[in-house]
Structure 1
Amino acid sequence: MTKAELRKHYRAIRSSLTEQETNRFNEQIISHLLAFSWEDVRYVHCFLPIGRHKEPDMWAFMDIVQERFPNLQMVVSRSNVIDFSMVHYLFSRSLILTENEWGIVEPLDGERVVESLLDVVLVPLLVADDRGNRVGYGKGFYDRFLARCRPDCVKIGISFFEPVELITDVDTLDIPLDKLVTPLSVFDFKAS
């Protein structure tokens, strides 16, 4: 299927999930993420969920990881709707957040972080394929962002859905994931 077909299909499925289902899926995803080794990670970029789109909720994960690993720095972004770029900031509970026109909660300002510092990026998406290619919302924010990260930065997709076999219209500018975390499984695309 194409990205557009997959986007339409999985947005419809995700919008039909009940609160109980999304809560259970979020708990399962966080459990998988907490099983990763975070001791040597210094900077983790995390997305703040769009509630109205029922994106996976990363708030609890951010709190738990910061409590267990006080040297780990969480990073969040603000989107630039003009050039589809992202600016990154150190996250703290004192950071002033606001909701943008797409329903994304993002910082107004703060301590900037350059992409080259990031060790791990948690990537929101609708669905991925068996090769780590992903379907997001189609604006290319994350592809532009991930292209600026170090080659050894680990890109972990977060989705409520298991991967599909193939996305038929992958572009040369698409940046594939290294791993995918779903409620049921963890997929390591670099291991195969």
Structure 2
Amino acid sequence: MLYDLNTLRKNLRKQRCAVNQFQQKQSEQAVLNQLIRIPEFQQAHKIGLYLHAFGEIHTHKITEYCFAHGKAVFLPMICNMNQRLAWVQISQHQYRNKRFSHHPLGMKEPMAARGLHVSKLDVLIMPLLACDDTGTRIGMGGGFYDKTLATAAKRPYRLGLAHDFQLLHCNIQREAWDQPLDGLLTPQHFLRFKR
């Protein structure tokens, strides 16, 4: 069964925004509890993360865990020239003092002139709107992650974070430009995929 993509995006955005603070805190802790047991994350030094802004699984606890365990934290910055993401390392001080700029699309970004190519990261933890049982990911529609990951065949390990309702047990049509995930982590599930 295939979904109408526009309707699916609209419904999932609405559902994601309806998640309350209590549910978010529970989901965030449940995801962290599983994440710290995943070998790819345990062995990783450079972690790409996102700052939650649109009802995604919150990443505060993951970020603080990374700082506490000596992992370098990198956040995405949109390059206006090619619409790809560069990855900028942030410090704990910068994170805690919320030293970020506001992007016109509504999210916060690190303030920097340049960042690393995505292939320099060990693990990339990504937000999403939906993911199916084969690792096909639907993002917000801008294509930033797909364009960026198209230039990095092998690394990093691609891990999607999602609420349980964002895992769809049907096939999402995968387009030629779609970049599949290596794994999906929800509060109740951890799935591995073959890319």
Cα shift at 1:67: 0.9
Which residue does 1:61 correspond to in 2? 62
- From 89, 105, 115, the equivalent of 1:112 is 115
Cα shift at 1:87: 1.9
Alignment of 1:130 onto 2:133: yes
Q: Which amino acid aligns with 2:183?
A: K
Q: Which amino acid aligns with 1:101?
A: P
1:109-148 Cα shifts (integer Å, max 9, x gaps): 1673222211111111011001000111111000011122
- From 49, 53, 56, the equivalent of 2:52 is 49
Q: Is the 8 A contact 1:160 1:183 kept in 2?
A: yes
Percent identity of equivalent pairs: 22
Cα shift at 1:103: 2.1
Q: TM-score, normalised to structure 1's length? A: 0.88
- From 145, 148, 154, the equivalent of 2:148 is 145
- From 165, 170, 176, the equivalent of 2:180 is 176
1:184 partner SS:
coil
Q: Which amino acid aligns with 2:58?
A: D
Range moving further from structure 2, 173-182 or 5-14: 5-14
Q: How many residues align?
A: 187
Change (3 A) 1:123 1:27: same
Which residue does 1:26 correspond to in 2? 28
Q: Is the 8 A contact 1:6 1:135 kept in 2?
A: no
Range moving further from structure 2, 3-12 or 121-130: 3-12
CA distance in 2, matches of 1:166, 1:175: 18
Across the aligned residues of Structure 1 and Structure 2, the Cα RMSD in angstroms comes to 2.0
Alignment of 1:6 onto 2:5: no
Q: Is the 8 A contact 1:178 1:189 kept in 2?
A: yes
Which residue does 2:79 correspond to in 1? 80
CA distance in 1, matches of 2:144, 2:91: 23
- From 154, 159, 163, the equivalent of 1:156 is 159
Q: Is the 8 A contact 1:127 1:161 kept in 2?
A: no
Q: Which amino acid aligns with 1:62?
A: T
Alignment of 1:187 onto 2:191: yes
Q: Is the 8 A contact 2:121 2:155 kept in 1?
A: no
Q: Is the 8 A contact 2:100 2:111 kept in 1?
A: yes
Instruction: Identify unmatched segments of 5+ residues in structure 2.
Output: none
Cα shift at 1:102: 2.1
Cα shift at 1:166: 2.9
Q: Which amino acid aligns with 1:87?
A: A
